[in-house]
Each structure stands twice: as C-alpha cells, then as structure tokens.
Amino acid sequence: MLLRPDVFRHLCRARDLLCEVGEGQASVGEVARAVGISQYHFIRQFEAVFGATPHQLRIHARLGRARRLLAAGHMPVTEVCLEVGFSSLGSFSALFRRRVGVTPSAYQRRLRGLVQVPPSRPVSPVAGCLTLMGGLPPGTFRNFREA
C-alpha cells in the first residue's frame, strides 16, 4: 500500500492517540476525525500499515500498562483494572488470561517472587574510590598520585 507522507504522519499520530491509556480516551471515530480520515477508511488504512486494527492496538497498549502496574506490585488488581480503562474486573481478568496466559493476580504473585527489592544499606561517608584503595595490598602504590 502506497501512502502519501502526510497520510502516514496522520496514521502515526492516530497510533499515538490510541496508545494513550487513561481516562477520557477518544473513541476510534473521534481519533479518525482528529486525523481527518473517515472512520472506516481509517480502520482499513490503519490495519494495512500497522498490522492490527485500532481496537486491537488499544487493547495491547492497555494490557501492556496493566502488566507493568501488576509487576510493580503497588496496586491491587481491581485498581489496575480501572487504571488501564476497563470498567469490569471480570472482562479485564478474562482478557488478561486469554492474552497473557495467567490471571492478573497470578501474574502479580509470580512476579513478586521473581523481583526482590534489596535491603537498603547505610550510606558510607567515605568516597567509594578510597574504600576500594583501602582493600588493596600495602605497597601497591608509592604515592597518592600513582593511585
């Protein structure tokens, strides 16, 4: 499919609009109007260029954000569901399981076991280079400049 550069720019702009996750997302029709293409022509061109329909791309972006939020482990599954734009926990969980292979809660539990936060160490008041030099055998350097 041969596209004019301005049409390709419009489709890329539309892709960016569709990938935005959050409240107040524009519908596919609104995105098509924003880039100046009729809705059905927009869907056909978008799929030909990007290999997925606008709806499929939006679902992929939402699930990607959901995976990142679940991996962080700071939010319960219900909050993640609402954060990424789903209104039903059941439909979110079913779609997540179909696409990812496990339920959102199982995904979050599995990643909690893999990602370990190291305990915080006290900050040393001595510069790191001096600490390294202190571990060298005596007589390694004749003077400070050589070190």
What's the domain count of the chain?
1
The answer to the question of residue 122 being in a domain is no
Closest CA to 141 of 130, 50, 101, 118: 130
Q: The dihedral of CA 17, 21, 22, 24: what is its sign?
A: positive
- Express each pLDDT in 64-104 by its tens digit: 999 999 988 888 999 999 999 888 999 999 999 999 999 99
The answer to the question of residue 90 being in a domain is yes
Give all strands (DSSP E) within 7-145, no chain letters: none
The answer to the question of residue 119 being in a domain is no
The answer to the question of residue 130 being in a domain is no
The answer to the question of residue 142 being in a domain is no
Rg (CA), the chain: 25
The answer to the question of residue 128 being in a domain is no
The answer to the question of residue 133 being in a domain is no
- Express each pLDDT in 4-38 by its tens digit: 777 888 888 888 888 776 656 778 888 888 888 88
Domain carrying residue 92: 5-114
CATH number for the domain spanning 105: value is: 1.10.10.60
* Cα(99)–Cα(67) distance, integer angstroms: 11
Q: The dihedral of CA 58, 10, 25, 22: what is its sign?
A: positive
pTM exceeds cut of 0.95:
no
* Cα(49)–Cα(64) distance, integer angstroms: 21
The answer to the question of residue 22 being in a domain is yes
